[in-house]
Structure 1
Amino acid sequence: MASIMQRAATLYLRNQMRAMSSHSATAGGHGGGHKLWKNLSFFVAFPAVGLGMLNAYLAHQEGGHERPEFIAYDYLRIRTKRFPWGDGQKSLFHNPHVNALPTGFEDH
């Protein structure tokens, strides 16, 4: 039994040494690592992105979120200079449902 285990260990080590020497001897070879990353992209990354998109879509369909009550804090929504577009109070990507103006939400 010990001789079988010793023979198996010897073959394993010999194969490992052969694999290491063949990879280092090839100039510019990738050793098959690209296949691993390609498979990870197709079978892990893309499904994860798809599930994240599905989760966001379903969460939005359930009613989204309630708008918080407007409280006029002194340190929020400070306008020391007008924006160069529109009426000067709304940011470039202003959303009237989510973003409040210094005086409150647009649609009370």
Structure 2
Amino acid sequence: MSRQSGKIFTRNFQTGEVVLSKECPSRPSGIPQYPDGGYKLFKKLSLLLGIPIVLGLTVFTYLQKKRCEPEREPFVRYEYLRLRSKRFPWGDGNKTLFHNPQKNALPEGYEDEMDNPEKCPEQ
């Protein structure tokens, strides 16, 4: 056992002369040489096509979002949602840290519906 582990953990040094070839290949021999300047095509394509497409889709998405804003879902009081077992340590203790009055409902309902009871749906 120790004889085998000695062979595994020993370092072998080359004691002979090192022969260096006069020409070192710039690439390994298995990789083909590509013509110089091939990257220029991809650079031009990404600048002339890629960036305008991304900008165009950004404007299109912005205009679509601006044109058709989805309606807010009606408030439904479920006993397992919006539970407040402990007050939040900020504000009035009922609103989350990133509370949005138009999107996030309180346990009683949306804030603007609580201010205007005639718009409040039947419960």
TM-score class, shorter: 0.5 to 0.7
What is the aligned length?
82
What residue number does 2:84 align with? 79
TM-score, length basis structure 1: 0.54
TM-score, length basis structure 2: 0.48
* Moved beyond 4 Å, runs of 4+: 34-43
Of the two, which has the highest radius of gyration? 2
Identity %: 47
RMSD of aligned Cα (Å): 3.4
What residue number does 1:96 align with? 101
Q: Please identify which structure carries the higher helix content.
A: 1
Distance across 2 between alignment mates of 1:36 and 1:78 = 59
Task: Tell me: CA distance 1:22–1:56, structure 2 relative to 1, closer, same or farther (3 Å).
Answer: same
1:22 to 22, 26, 30: 26
Distance across 1 between alignment mates of 2:89 and 2:71 = 31
Instruction: Please give the residue correspondences for 1:30-69 in structure 2 after superposition, counting only pairs within 5 Å.
Output: 42=47, 43-44=49-50, 47-48=53-54, 50-69=55-74
Gaps of at least 5 residues in structure 2 are: 1-24, 30-36, 114-123
Amino acid at match of 1:76: L
